[in-house]
Amino acid sequence: MHSKINKVFLFLVLVCLHPLFGRAILERFDSTDTCGTLSNGAVIAPQAGLERGALVVNGNGTKMQYFYSYEMSVTAGETFALALNYRTSENFPTTGWLAVVAFTPEPGKETPPSFYGRFHRMSNRWMHRRHEFTIPEGTCKARVLLRFDLIPVTAQVRIDNLRVAPVIDGIAKGIDLTDFETDFDQWSLDRHLLFDHLMPGPGASIENEWRKAKVGEAFLQASGSGEPMQYAFYIENIVLKPQHNYIFEAWLNATDSFSFAANGILIFFYKDAAGKAIGQSRYHIRPTAGEWKEFAHAFTAPENSAWLDIGMNMRKMTANDIIQLDHIRLREGDDQLSLRYDIDPDTRKMAIVSYVIGNITKEDVARIDYRISQKEQFVRSIPGKTDGETLVDLTEFADGEYLLSAQAAFKDGSQKSSEPVAFGVYNHPDWLNDIGIYQPTAPAPAPWKDLQLNDQQVRTWNNCFTFNKALQLQQLTGLDGRHPWISAPMSLTFNQHDVLGGDKDADWEAGSSMVKGTSTFRCDDFTCQVKVSIDYVGFMRYTLRFNALRDFTLSQGTLALSLPEVDFIHRCDGTWTEVGAVDLNRHQEWSSKHLYFLQFGKIKQGICFYTPKLWPAVADFEQDWVKASTKGDLTMQLINAPLTLSKDGAFTLEFALCPYPFRPAEDNWKKIRFRAGANSNCDLLWQTASMMPYAGSLLTFKDSAAVQAFLQKGAEYQLVYQIPTYIIETIPQWSYFRKKWRGLPARAYDFRASHGGMMPKGDFRERTWVDLYIKTMVDHLQEHQWGGIYYDCFCIDTFQDNDGIVLPIFENRTFHERVYHAQRLHNPKSLTISHLGADQASTLAAFSNVVLMGEQYRGNFVNHRYFLDFLTLDEFRYENVVNIGPDRMLLPQYRRAEDVNNPELTTHVMGMALAHNLMVYPNFIVKEVELRFRDRQFAFGMQDAEFFPYWEPNPDGLTTSNPDVKMSYWKNPKGIFAVILNASKAPVDFTVSAPGKLAGEFYEPLEDKTSAWQPERQLHIAPYLAALLTIK
């Protein structure tokens, strides 16, 4: 999902195209194409800057070593600001270095004195500095120069984000930061003015991890460095208005080590116009017990203040001592009255609290009254408490939507009212339903088949599960009894007892959609009731319930599987960090302390493992809990710490195994052409559309007639966006059920600008939410026939319960299943495209026709530009080509303008996609180049084509002479259409052999160049790029 950012100001992305060209400078130093002239050893270092590149220069020991120059047209009397980010080497002289502005006089005038701005040594972090100069009378031009004086060759400075701009009404537009709001989303932050002012120090980083962020998909993290006075970051040179009120707000997550007040302090340094310190205020960091908490720091700018620096101070903290900040905001604070409320749906009571900000205090308030209205009609006035909560009994109100406001009377006789806020009362929800809940005895839905139980053997649409008497999985094969998925019976032991080794026959219950078995194991210490269920997909769920026959300690529990052949293990926990495929052919073995869902096998087949939690219920154990090897052995420790049970005590453990593929292949790549220009037959209405009032949280629209008109002119496969596991606050029922529906740990997307509210993570374990979502969907689809639905952020997430960390996989899968069947209630041919990201083994895949991959690589593309810079081809296949059932679609992850608009990078992405038969979600790449590939692909014809990948032998004998050149192709009655990928970092020359073929057409998409091909013709492709070959 792509969250939005509230940008303070976006200034001169390309200064040479801007009307201020010649009167302003913006140098990012990301490429050698600079506006100014470099000299005397100055170079652009591609990865040395805050974002990417930086200007890097070493001293040469001479006086007046000028290394940067830029001439501007100016007018006398104008004032300019010059600002930049810089960092020196540790041995840089204390005298620092200079920015010099030399003035060119008008003809006949004397040369005015130059301006000098000094930059002092700063070696342990980046620094933002600003200087201001005024154009003297009689001046027509100014030359901005950067200079060293007698700096030794071993001393160095790195410079980034050099800006010069006019000062108008006291503000240098594009330089001066007056307020800000950001959620740190990486691809936007580098174009946000705050980026120039937020200077990272030791231990600071921007983390791109959407599951861990509070708002958006990234956050600022500061970890200890051990220093006695560590400043992890500064936000420098914020413009202040003297004696004005300000509020700094943020979400905070801090470890327990910050219980002592001095361990972590957010310090607000006030400076005068000359930059001299004139005071400070402080906010002391406190532990948040693993949960994000919002805080606000209000302050009044001192008299004579002009600038503010905000510094994150940490003292003698270790790398495990962590502060995380998200959605930071600074704004001026006016006098205002506000209120907050919280509804408990269990007690049906609402607690209201009012508060004042600005120059007024709660001691100034004489009386508070709360006013409730409905549809512009007054309903009730409630006397409120001036200090503390006011409780309102909601059983006295009819179900419906209301407005709540506060009126304060102050001791000086004045009054003030709050802005009204909406709330709902739903004591009797009328949307509860069972739609989409599949019954075990119901016929299996398409495209699967009815289950068959024969003795202790269960046959699904694709597999045959064979059990022993006590429900041990003995064998798992294809329906023909060949191609085994496992090479030995599954082993499950606790305290060295084989709980699946009993000799008593299990009880079986057969149904067309689900088969269930139950057995019981008994030893001296405990009984273990074993339940297994297998549904029409082949999802096999084990539930183990232990009952203590006497006091005992459960100290060991091991699940072991053996597969005949494996290439990889894929791991996912719903995040983007340390996930994806491990190539076991390269690494031989892999183990982890972190709890993952697992996929183990080869591209064509294998097994997935899921569990909501193990023992203890944590995300990271003290020792490795899982080990996998290239021999096909997978061992999982289900008990990772001693568990003591008293007599008659109970403990339940659950896990699931599922062979893949999860559903029959449909070859949707043959018929779906998503946003493919003139060939397009599939499109998507995104959540930001104005007619979608809840941004996809519910499938409902403002105007039914507008929806119908839109669908009449829409694509054949016209999709609509949905995000069922996030609930926008503007849904009327949210205010009433927030306590139950809000998922913890809490996080949210910011939709206030477009849809009027935040969109927090929802708890899909709450039936009232799932039922509301399902009913709203079915009602809408009964009236409007969409071609399909695109689901975002619908995979597993981590929740915090009283018992610890849980990944509620079974409830998540039940939601997937209900939505899948409800969507098809009125249109069995409805299409589902689901965004999986890194989670290719998600249970959502079984209930999808197409799955979208790629967003998990966003962090990689911050520092890399090509897939093959951070993945091998094998790893790319193991993450994007594994046969899970649904077709695949790839989402490019370039976010910076210079990458998005780079035709070479588009050529690389399209080559990678086509070489692996991936459909493309054509965002963040050059449309013209992308269509050069796809137009030829669709002109050749996919509907009757067969795909032959480069990693398998092909029946046509097509080969290339260079092993670094990979060729996949489609074949239909018209001939062969091949994509040729250079998988190396160097240019390649090669030939293509095609037995029996005499001629064809070689196409180079980057140059849009076509030439004739004959066998053994020498061909050339640049590093990581691709070309097309048509042979008829």
Q: Could you write out the DSSP letters of every residue in 883-917?
A: --SSEEEE-----SHHHHT-HHHHHHHHHHHHHTT
Confidence category of residue 433, pLDDT binned at 50, 70, 90: very high
Cα 471 to Cα 458: distance, rounded to the nearest angstrom: 11
The answer to whether 954 touches 948, Cβ cutoff 8 Å, is yes
What is the pLDDT of the chain when averaged over all its residues?
A: 94
Question: How far from 399 is each of 406, 733, 1018, CA to CA, in Å?
Answer: 22, 10, 76
pLDDT in tens, 995-1011: 987 899 999 999 999 99
Confidence category of residue 355, pLDDT binned at 50, 70, 90: confident
Helices (H), strands (E): how many in the chain? 13, 73
15 has pLDDT over 50: no
Nearest CA to 824 among 785, 869, 852, 871?
A: 785
Domains of the chain: 1-174 (2.60.120.260), 336-425 (2.60.40.10), 452-660 (2.70.98.10), 668-936 (3.20.20.70)
Grouping H, G, I as helix, E, B as strand and the rest as coil, residue 599 is strand
Cα 368 to Cα 353: distance, rounded to the nearest angstrom: 10
pLDDT in tens, 901-934: 999 999 999 999 999 999 999 999 999 999 999 9
Nearest CA to 561 among 462, 471, 467, 476?
A: 476
Kindly state the average pLDDT of the residues 354-380. 90
Give the 3-state secondary structure of 286-341.
Answer: CCCCCCCEEEEEEEECCCCCCEEEEEEEECCCCCCCEEEEEEEEEEECCCEEEEEE
Axis crossing angle, helix 809-823 with helix 767-783, rounded to the nearest 10: 20
Cα 240 to Cα 281: distance, rounded to the nearest angstrom: 14
- Which pLDDT score, from 0 to 100, does residue 16 have? 38
Structure letter (DSSP) for residue 21: B
Q: What is the sign, positive or negative, of the torsion defined by CA atoms of 379, 383, 388, 391?
A: negative
Q: What does the angle CA 859 – CA 184 – CA 258 come to, to the nearest 5 degrees?
A: 105
- Which pLDDT score, from 0 to 100, does residue 896 have? 82
Cα 566 to Cα 27: distance, rounded to the nearest angstrom: 51
pLDDT in tens, 225-264: 999 999 999 999 999 999 999 999 999 999 999 987 779 9
| Residue indicated by tokens 């806020």 | 421
21 has pLDDT over 70: no
The answer to whether the bond into 287 is cis (omega within 30° of 0) is no
14 has pLDDT over 70: no
Q: Is 651 exposed, middle or buried (0-12, 13-18, 19+ CB in 10 A)?
A: middle
- Which pLDDT score, from 0 to 100, does residue 51 have? 80
Q: For residue 584, give both structure tokens.
A: 């076991």
Axis crossing angle, helix 903-915 with helix 927-940, rounded to the nearest 10: 30
Confidence category of residue 189, pLDDT binned at 50, 70, 90: low
Across the strands, what pairs with 551?
none
pLDDT in tens, 302-316: 999 999 999 999 999
The strand pair at 682-685 and 717-722 is best described as: parallel
Instruction: Count CA atoms within 13 Å of residue 4 on its CB side.
Output: 14
Question: How far from 952 is each of 604, 884, 889, 916, 967, CA to CA, in Å?
Answer: 12, 18, 21, 12, 10
- Which pLDDT score, from 0 to 100, does residue 29 have? 94
The answer to whether 658 touches 561, Cβ cutoff 8 Å, is no
Confidence category of residue 20, pLDDT binned at 50, 70, 90: very low
| More confident of the two residues 12 and 145 | 145
Question: How far from 1006 is each of 865, 909, 992, 1023, CA to CA, in Å?
Answer: 16, 12, 20, 12
pLDDT in tens, 66-124: 999 999 999 999 999 999 999 999 999 999 999 999 999 999 999 999 999 999 999 99
Confidence category of residue 503, pLDDT binned at 50, 70, 90: confident
Q: Is 14 exposed, middle or buried (0-12, 13-18, 19+ CB in 10 A)?
A: exposed
Nearest CA to 692 among 731, 725, 747?
A: 731
The answer to whether the bond into 828 is cis (omega within 30° of 0) is no
190 has pLDDT over 70: no
Nearest CA to 116 among 99, 129, 131?
A: 99
pLDDT in tens, 639-678: 999 999 999 999 999 999 999 999 999 999 999 999 999 9
Phi, psi of 754 (to 5 degrees): -95, -30
- Tell me which H or E stretch contains 283: strand 277-284
5 has pLDDT over 50: no
pLDDT in tens, 767-811: 999 999 999 999 999 999 999 999 999 999 999 888 899 999 999
Kindly state the average pLDDT of the residues 34-48. 94
The answer to whether 756 touches 692, Cβ cutoff 8 Å, is no
The answer to whether the bond into 659 is cis (omega within 30° of 0) is no
pLDDT in tens, 541-600: 999 999 999 999 999 999 999 999 999 999 999 888 889 999 999 999 999 999 999 999
- Which pLDDT score, from 0 to 100, does residue 387 have? 86
